Amino acid sequence: MAKQLISSSETKCVYRDGDLAIKEFCEGFPKAEVLNEALCTARVEDLPGLHVPKVLSVSVMDGKWSITREFIEGKTLQQLMDENPDKVQEYMEQMVDLQIDIHSKACPLLNKLKEKTIRALQEEEQLDANTRYDLLTRLDGMPKHTKLCHGDFEPSNIIVAADGAMYVVDWVHASQGNASADVARTYLLLSLKDAKKAEMYMDMFCEKTGTEKRYVQGWLPIVAAAQLAKKRPEEKELLEKWVNVFPYE
């Protein structure tokens, strides 16, 4: 079976080669990020109750790093939502249930979300001193948890197999910390594409978990500012809007 392109972006391409999925990064992509993604995935792939495609190898050829993992036959949850708009609420509920299940796990070897966020806030040059201080102070006051957080949880990172099993990919930003920070990140990702779906998601998560919506919203400025450090052009405008918004005041 010839290698088939599954998806691509400016920094990477994902191919299928038989029973393998190969994520090939662009030349010059930081080695540390590739190895970190493989390590984070390896640390979560055997957690009970989760479906995570196993990492099989990490290699480099012609200056391009790649991660090879198990290929999962199926469609992403994003594809299913696009193909069946009348089932969006049903799919969203499945997604929220899956995220709640992830948050119920512990993975002590992962980096701590709070420490990662502090580093990002300190490194982001767009923040003025007052805003940085305010955000760091607010972060310090947030409850400290050690729940498994995906860090980039969205429908396109969920593969639904033929038997209905839901596999979660792209664990490069995984950490242990406060679940509401993870929810805030998902809310921002959904907002980039559809504000109504983002609100549906937020309401559904808060209702299912008994979490006060204002508490999750309180994470939005912190998470948005930390995400600016990742320099994703498609997110810049939305993130900047949220950095100085404190909806819980």
Same fold, 2-68 and 72-242: no
Residue among 184, 175, 190 nearest 248 (CA): 184
Whole-angstrom Cα Rg for the chain: 18
- Evaluated on CA atoms 175, 159, 60, 11, the torsion sign reads negative
Instruction: With beta carbons less than 8 A apart as the criterion, state whether 56 and 45 touch.
Output: no
User: What pLDDT digit, counting tens, does each position of 226-239 carry?
Assistant: 988 777 778 888 78
Give the contacts of 147 (CB within 8 A, at least 6 positions apart).
103, 104, 105, 106, 176, 177, 178, 179, 182
How far does Cα 209 stand from its chain's mean position? 19
CATH architecture classification, 72-242: Alpha-Beta Complex (3.90)
Taking residues 123-128, what's their average pLDDT? 87
Q: How far apart are the first and last CA of the chain?
A: 57
> What is the C-alpha to C-alpha distance for residues 54 and 69, in angstroms, rounded to an integer?
5
pTM for the full model? 0.93
Instruction: With beta carbons less than 8 A apart as the criterion, state whether 171 and 162 touch.
Output: no
CATH architecture classification, 2-68: 2-Layer Sandwich (3.30)
> What is the C-alpha to C-alpha distance for residues 76 and 166, in angstroms, rounded to an integer?
9
Q: What is the dihedral of CA 31, 182, 133, 236, to 10 degrees?
A: 70
User: What pLDDT digit, counting tens, does each position of 55-105 carry?
Assistant: 999 999 888 999 999 999 999 999 999 999 999 999 999 999 999 999 999
Residue 129: CB atoms within 10 A of its CB come to 7
Q: Which pLDDT belongs to residue 248?
A: 43
Taking residues 8-16, what's their average pLDDT? 92
Confidence of residue 245 (pLDDT cuts 50, 70, 90): low
What are the residue boundaries of the structural domains of the chain, listed by start? Answer: 2-68, 72-242
Does the structure show a pLDDT above 60 at 249? no
